[in-house]
Structure 1
Amino acid sequence: MHCELCLTEHPHDVACGGEPWTQVYLSTGDAEAPPVDLTGQTLGSYRLVRRLGAGGMGTVYQGEQTRIGARVAVKVLHPHLGRDESLRARFYAEARTVNVVGHPNIVHIFDINEAPGGLHYFVMEYLEGVPMSHLPRPMAPGPLVTLLAQACDALDAAHRCGVVHRDLKPDNLFVVRHAGEPPTLRVLDFGVAKARRPHPGEDETAAGIVLGTPAYMAPEQSAGQPVDGRADIYALAVTAYYLSTGQLPFERGQMVELALGTGPVGAPPPHLLTPGIPPALSEVLLRALSRRCEDRYATALEFKEALLLAAAQPLADALASETPPPRSHTPVPSLAWLDTEGPATEPNALTPPLTWVARVRRRSGTGDVEVLCTELSRGGLFMCCADPFPRLFNRLEFTLLLAGELVECAGEVVRHVDAAQAQTWGMLSTGVGVQFINPSARLCELIRRVQPHRLTTPASTLMRAEVVL
């Protein structure tokens, strides 16, 4: 299913497709023109095969390049809006904005044109998958944080270019799925994005236009005040809250109070609504939902790091106090996959490492702990967790999903990476290095199968491991 572009069929409805959105966008004072279906027509070298959805500014079609048959998505400005020069400028600004940012987690736009009859359109990559609004709720924290981290990378790239999205919501976060490949995320619909202007008062927003989706809008945005990247962080936190609990953090009546009031309006902590959510993750989301933008995370990357650490916290809480088995004082073994000659090169913040989710069994037998892992190799892996760490030489038993297959693993903690070391080596998280103990032939085979994919896939792809125990 392709949902670019995440346009709703009924943008004024309070509930559409089961999700409580209200999209407010355009008021020109004219009666709305009847919808125009262009299915079957050809715009330039693109034939419109089927209609995918429509929103306030335009309609999106699945298209086909007539010469080579390549599938594309074509977004066409509503004909009755194309007569307005300012609205045409805003429509084209979306394409320019996306291409200025140019990030692998943002949908790619590669053509823009005008067809006879005053039809304005641009052409995007065609994505196979579903928007996050179509994923089952509540989502498990591990997979959710994996996708949110990619959204943070895309937002950081946009914010560095001076672009604020201003309409983030589950419908505009698209999970791309291809057979045999891990899911990846694309941020869609920059139609209401706005670049920060070098001169005060210079703004393309026309009078009479209210942009955004109220349930996801930061208080300062709802109040019509200037916004920066922290408004996007707020919207992403609302999205995370909704997907992790199945409900929005604030009722409709609280939205006005958030925008205009000054007193605290607190959302219920997510872990009280969904017991599987780590309390640390609740704290991260509630901070990102702060009424005052100064109280939120300053950047999308700071928000991302907090999300990753919060998702990893249960490992430290569950394992830090456990006693390791008797062991002679053997030096910590050297692992090629962790050792470096001096500080590692600082990684590109926009290309995080591949990440897996593992379930680690407690030694007490009282349940499993979900933890994010990186640096998978035939020797072992790195488990992201917060200090206090499980002790050196502690044996861990856990399950991974590699190449679509569940595989049981045993490992031994052989290295601690504290905050200072993580900063020196350019790592995104503190944690522990785990060396495999007697890895099975099947585990080695699955790792060999994953490694070529890891070498040829853009590093911004985060691999998700569904672990079912």
Structure 2
Amino acid sequence: MRISQSKIQVTDGTAEPASAEITSGKRTCPACNVAVHKALSTCPNDGTVIEEPPAFKRSFAGKYQFVAQIGSGGMGVIYKAKQPLLDRYYAIKMLNVQKANQRMLARFHQEAKAASTLNHPNVISVHDFGFTDDDDPYMVMDFVEGMSLAALLQSGGAIPYKEALGIFIQIATGMNHAHILGVLHRDLKPSNVMLTNPESVVAEVKIVDFGIAKINKAEESSSLTQTGDVFGSPLYMSPEQASGMKVDARSDIYSLGCLMYEVLTGAPPLQADTIIQTMFLHLNQMPMTMSEMHPSAHFPESLEYVVRKCLEKDPSLRYQSMLDLKVDLVKVSVDQPIREQKYAAFSKTPSAIFKLNWLQIAVAILAFAAASYTIFERREMSVESERREAQARSIEQKFTSDLRSIGSEPLSGIDGETFVKQEVAQGKSVISFPGLSADDSALKYIEGNPNIISLSMRANDISREGFTHLKFPNLKRLDVQETEITPELMTALLNLPKLDHLNLSKTRYTRSSLTQISTLKYLRSLNLCRSNLSDDDCQIIARMTNLEQLRIGFNPQITDKGINALKALTNLTALDLNNTSVSDKGLTVLKSLNKLQDLQLYQTHISDDGVKTLAKMPLKRLSLSDTMIGSKSIQYLSKMSQIKYLEIHQNPQMPLQLQRYLQDKMAAQGAFVKIDRGAQR
């Protein structure tokens, strides 16, 4: 269910309520005739106060005050509500009883029972379930402010692996808790992962929607067996789930592998035009490596190993528990080696157990739809699982702050200085403040530390004097967002002799400070997104001829004049021009950048003529979403044989059938094309 924010505000009822006609669980506003759901006491259109139906009022009187509708979908509606006695907000999910059938009711009940079994910081909590006096089923859950991982991917594309690892470890942590209690999710995907602080260095994860979960209670085994549904989402479905075989925790691990692959590359590992074709791929084809899918990104070999191991067709070759997966993800996050990395062992062809033909797959799908809803039995902890648990405890003790930052322990009461003391005590070389703003004392404590090679922080709590402590002889990567580039910060940057990656997105700068940044001779990657850059600033950036990656998206003041200056950056392999004012004319100057492989042009003025220019460039990854391209672009794009990933969705001038045609044609050459949802078969 996609959540759409609403500004509907329920009044306190002091005004005289108007009478309203009540039909099918809704009321009609007497002033404007707009249908108003019975949970709301004011009309969202004109604010008219409407009296609530007595039955609904009795159900929640003294318990909850409804504030706003925050989501809706085929099954029902979600409201934000306040519990006055506790002064806390909750989300109340109500099933649309007018559209519900026994299948929906069973699934709704299943979600409530599965989620209520769990109690973990990374899993959504269900606090109550029941029926109103009108016999409408409802569920009271945690209220989560944030966005889904799917929405984050939609808005910004692939997430850098160092940022994504914290998300992955939290998912594995939450799912390990669920598996220990005998609950399988069976529908892990980006839209079912909520991020409560998506703008922070490490967002907090909440796993949601256990609507098709499998739990260890016999009463659930019958109610959902006759639904006729194929449980799960084909893009993330394990081979055994797709073929109707018995599933266990390793099926969720495969789904998490698909999720990780998409987060890191911007595209799912396997995708075809139809459900059956997609399931066939999951059964019979290994995906290309992440580096092949996203050639402009850098993935450690250990991370490629972890994701690929999750995606093994044979469950016995995958990680055998979320705990094992979590241990290796933590090791990747701190650059520790993973034991038994046998990269060559991964076969390009799947195990014979899942190598099925089309007829077998069709039969499997039919069988799966009718398969009995079996019970996931909780197993006793074996000697081997005890060994893994001990290993995990050892890892968590060694990397306490990493796990703190991703939700294994609460961060309440911890400040920046305390955090870095823990990091330094454990010999950390990569320090990322977990939702905390670094402060003067934190920087002072780690000043001059030769072991630190990467530092990521929000700097809004650092004073001008505090930046004088930003002295690290071996620092290679610095992420210091949402701040002002003061003379003190500028002096510190100029005295970081090995700095090669600099993220200054959402910063406030002067022309003088940008000029000084251009003198950083080792800099290879620069991010100045959302920093109010202009064409004149591009003239300065063009002096940085060693740059290989440049992100200057969401600076609409940049025009073709500024783009023209960038032709001097002949070493560029990746360029982000999203939401700038570049036009077709501006693209012509980029043809000279023969090393450029990744070009992002989301929300720009590019038309078919611009695509004709792009077709002559050696691009492997290209975003043309929400531009001005139309049908004519198809002939140019179809000739770009080197493309591995292409986005063309949100282009109303390009007919859906042509989008499908291009997707089919480029799939034959191993490329993924992201098209409009309506164009999917």
Which band: TM-score by shorter chain? 0.5 to 0.7
Counterpart residue number, 2:413: none
Q: Work out the CA distance in 1 between the residues paired with 2:397 and 2:274.
A: 35
Question: For the Cα contact (< 8 Å) 1:82–1:119, is it kept in 2?
Answer: no
Give 1:101 shift. Answer: 2.0
* Structure 1 pair 111–235 and aligned structure 2 pair: CA distance change class (3 A): same
* Structure 1 pair 410–344 and aligned structure 2 pair: CA distance change class (3 A): farther
Question: For the Cα contact (< 8 Å) 2:170–2:205, is it kept in 1?
Answer: yes
Match of 2:453 among 395, 398, 403: 398
* Structure 1 pair 273–203 and aligned structure 2 pair: CA distance change class (3 A): same
SS of the counterpart of 2:137?
A: strand
Q: Work out the CA distance in 1 between the residues paired with 2:392 and 2:324.
A: 20
Counterpart residue number, 1:280: 302
Counterpart residue number, 1:30: none
Residues 122-133 of structure 1 mapped to structure 2, 5 A cutoff? 122-133=139-150
Residues 295-306 of structure 1 mapped to structure 2, 5 A cutoff? 295-306=317-328
Q: Work out the CA distance in 1 between the residues paired with 2:167 and 2:230.
A: 29
TM-score (norm 1): 0.61
Letter in 1 for 2:132: A
Counterpart residue number, 2:98: 80
Larger radius of gyration: 2
Q: Indicate the larger mover: 202-211 or 98-107.
A: 202-211
Give 1:304 shift. Answer: 1.7
Residues 22-421 of structure 1 mapped to structure 2, 5 A cutoff? 37-40=37-40, 44=60, 45-65=63-83, 70-80=88-98, 84=102, 87-135=104-152, 136-177=156-197, 183-196=203-216, 204-253=224-273, 256=276, 259=279, 264-274=284-294, 275-313=297-335, 346=393, 353-355=400-402, 376-377=421-422, 380-383=425-428, 395-402=450-457, 404=459, 408=470, 410=472
Letter in 2 for 1:191: G
Letter in 2 for 1:288: C
Q: Over residues 291-326 of structure 1, what are the superposed CA-to-partner deviations in whole Å (9 max), with x where a residue is unaligned?
A: 22222111111112222333444999xxxxxxxxxx
Question: For the Cα contact (< 8 Å) 1:375–1:382, is it kept in 2?
Answer: no
Letter in 2 for 1:183: A
Q: Over residues 112-169 of structure 1, what are the superposed CA-to-partner deviations in whole Å (9 max), with x where a residue is unaligned?
A: 2211221110111111211111222211111101111010011111111111101111
Q: Work out the CA distance in 1 between the residues paired with 2:422 and 2:281.
A: 53
Question: For the Cα contact (< 8 Å) 2:242–2:279, is it kept in 1?
Answer: yes
SS of the counterpart of 1:382?
A: coil
Question: For the Cα contact (< 8 Å) 1:397–1:409, is it kept in 2?
Answer: no
SS of the counterpart of 1:93?
A: helix
SS of the counterpart of 1:377?
A: helix
Q: Work out the CA distance in 2 between the residues paired with 1:249 and 1:90.
A: 28
Give 1:411 shift. Answer: 8.5
Residues 418-457 of structure 1 mapped to structure 2, 5 A cutoff? none
Cα RMSD (Å): 4.2
Q: Work out the CA distance in 1 between the residues paired with 2:310 and 2:391.
A: 31
Question: For the Cα contact (< 8 Å) 2:3–2:72, is it kept in 1?
Answer: yes
Give 1:284 shift. Answer: 1.6
Counterpart residue number, 1:367: none
* Structure 1 pair 214–345 and aligned structure 2 pair: CA distance change class (3 A): closer
* Structure 1 pair 276–254 and aligned structure 2 pair: CA distance change class (3 A): farther
Question: For the Cα contact (< 8 Å) 1:152–1:304, is it kept in 2?
Answer: yes
Any gaps of 5 or more consecutive residues in structure 1?
1-5, 10-32, 317-342, 359-373, 386-393, 413-466
SS of the counterpart of 1:94?
A: helix
Q: Over residues 209-231 of structure 1, what are the superposed CA-to-partner deviations in whole Å (9 max), with x where a residue is unaligned?
A: 33222111112212222211111
Letter in 1 for 2:40: G
* Structure 1 pair 207–128 and aligned structure 2 pair: CA distance change class (3 A): closer
Give 1:271 shift. Answer: 1.8
Give 1:188 shift. Answer: 0.6
Question: For the Cα contact (< 8 Å) 1:101–1:161, is it kept in 2?
Answer: yes
Q: Work out the CA distance in 2 between the residues paired with 1:59 and 1:350.
A: 43
Q: Over residues 23-79 of structure 1, what are the superposed CA-to-partner deviations in whole Å (9 max), with x where a residue is unaligned?
A: xxxxxxxxxx99984440555133433322234433222223355653211111121
Question: For the Cα contact (< 8 Å) 1:62–1:73, is it kept in 2?
Answer: yes
SS of the counterpart of 1:277?
A: coil
Question: For the Cα contact (< 8 Å) 1:398–1:408, is it kept in 2?
Answer: no
Q: Work out the CA distance in 2 between the residues paired with 1:352 and 1:379.
A: 11
Q: Work out the CA distance in 2 between the residues paired with 1:80 and 1:205.
A: 23
Q: Over residues 375-410 of structure 1, what are the superposed CA-to-partner deviations in whole Å (9 max), with x where a residue is unaligned?
A: 84385443389xxxxxxxx94343424564587464
Q: Work out the CA distance in 2 between the residues paired with 1:357 and 1:273.
A: 32
Letter in 1 for 2:270: F
* Structure 1 pair 375–205 and aligned structure 2 pair: CA distance change class (3 A): farther
Letter in 2 for 1:353: T
Q: Work out the CA distance in 1 between the residues paired with 2:36 and 2:84.
A: 22
Q: Work out the CA distance in 2 between the residues paired with 1:129 and 1:198.
A: 35
* Structure 1 pair 286–346 and aligned structure 2 pair: CA distance change class (3 A): closer
SS of the counterpart of 2:329?
A: helix
Q: Work out the CA distance in 2 between the residues paired with 1:263 and 1:79.
A: 38
Give 1:355 shift. Answer: 1.6
Q: Work out the CA distance in 1 between the residues paired with 2:305 and 2:391.
A: 31
* Structure 1 pair 292–55 and aligned structure 2 pair: CA distance change class (3 A): farther
Higher helix residue share? 2
SS of the counterpart of 1:51?
A: strand
Letter in 2 for 1:77: L
* Structure 1 pair 383–203 and aligned structure 2 pair: CA distance change class (3 A): farther
Give 1:182 shift. Answer: 5.5
Counterpart residue number, 1:327: none
Q: Work out the CA distance in 1 between the residues paired with 2:85 and 2:227.
A: 42
Counterpart residue number, 1:433: none
TM-score (norm 2): 0.43
Aligned length: 337
SS of the counterpart of 1:354?
A: helix
Q: Work out the CA distance in 2 between the residues paired with 1:51 and 1:186.
A: 20
Any gaps of 5 or more consecutive residues in structure 2?
5-24, 27-34, 42-56, 339-389, 406-418, 431-448, 475-525, 529-681
Deviation >6 Å, runs of 4+: 33-36, 178-181, 198-201, 347-352
Q: Over residues 431-456 of structure 1, what are the superposed CA-to-partner deviations in whole Å (9 max), with x where a residue is unaligned?
A: xxxxxxxxxxxxxxxxxxxxxxxxxx
